[in-house]
Chains A and B, each alone.
Chain A
């Protein structure tokens, strides 16, 4: 089983749609969780950290379920500019190593 697994995608959605990405991780000792965004042929950039209580940043909501070892990202009112690959990232306790999922590609269509 891969350490971090994501929906394979791609997701093709119309503007204004709500889309959800799921991610599972295998190491129960993992402590820090993130969503990164990567545009085509660009470097990954932090979108948001994920906290146990869940957190929201504008149209983006991230949730963490430690019992199920599951992380989600919800994007509401999708914009064309949201088109990118979304990477689920996990870091272990006391560790520095970021472990990335394969990424899920989102295309928002006019």
Chain B
């Protein structure tokens, strides 16, 4: 079966532009996470969805970042007015939910803001 799919795999954008990053979770997984990973660091939590709703968006760094999951499956992370400091690998993960269920990660989108 297909794993978590993220597109694009790489994105280069100019400072100030708007970008959208897409995540296709594993079919049937109700929980979906977005993380951001900078070089030499562990993944940093951004937002968590249970179904269609954002159950926890406390990790979003500021109001330039927004994420949606309108039908409880595919999710889009949106970044407005990108800054060079937004450059990182954006990772999406999904799981069946519950305390000990495994979270499966996609290969990430490498965002470079120039």
Task: List A residues at the B interface (Cβ < 8 Å).
Answer: 4, 31-32, 42-46, 49, 87, 91, 93-94, 96-103
What are 20 A-B pairs at a CB distance below 8 A?
A31-B99, A43-B91, A43-B105, A43-B106, A43-B107, A46-B103, A87-B42, A87-B43, A93-B99, A94-B99, A96-B31, A96-B48, A96-B55, A96-B56, A97-B33, A98-B93, A100-B42, A100-B44, A102-B41, A103-B41
Say yes or no: A44-B100 contact (C-beta < 8 A), given A96-B50, A96-B55. Answer: no
A103's closest neighbor in chain B, by CB? B42
Report chain A residues within 8 Å CB of B100. Answer: 32, 49
User: Does B1 make an interface contact (CB < 8 A)?
Assistant: no
- Take A96-B48, A97-B56 as given contacts and tell me if A44 and B99 are in contact as well, using a CB distance cutoff of 8 Å: no
Interface size on B, residues (CB 8 A): 25
With both chains docked as a complex, state the minimum distance between the C-beta of A54 and any C-beta of chain B, in angstroms: 16
A sample of 12 more A-B contacts (CB under 8 A), given A96-B48, A98-B93, is A32-B100, A43-B91, A43-B105, A44-B91, A44-B105, A91-B99, A97-B59, A98-B45, A100-B43, A102-B40, A103-B41, A103-B42
Is there contact, CB below 8 Å, between A98 and B102? no
Minimum CB–CB distance for B82 against chain A, Å: 22
Please, which residues of chain B bring their CB within 8 A of the CB of A32?
99-100
In the bound complex, how far is the Cα of B113 from the Cα of A109, in angstroms? 36
Residues of B within 8 A of A (CB): 31, 33, 35, 40-45, 48, 50, 55-56, 59, 91, 93, 97, 99-100, 102-103, 105-108
Q: Which one of B56, B99, B106 has the highest number of Cβ atoms from chain A below 10 Å of its Cβ?
A: B99
The complex places the Cα of A87 from the Cα of B41 at a distance, in Å, of 10
In the complex the two chains form, is B48's CB within 8 Å of A45's CB? no
B106 touching A46 by the CB < 8 A rule?
Answer: no
Knowing A32-B100, A43-B91 touch, does A102 contact B42 (C-beta < 8 A)?
yes
Evaluate contact between A98 and B99: CB separation under 8 angstroms. no
Verify A99–B99 contact, CB threshold 8 A: no
Contacting residues, chain B, for A42 (C-beta < 8 A): 107
Question: A98 and B103: CB pair below 8 A?
Answer: yes
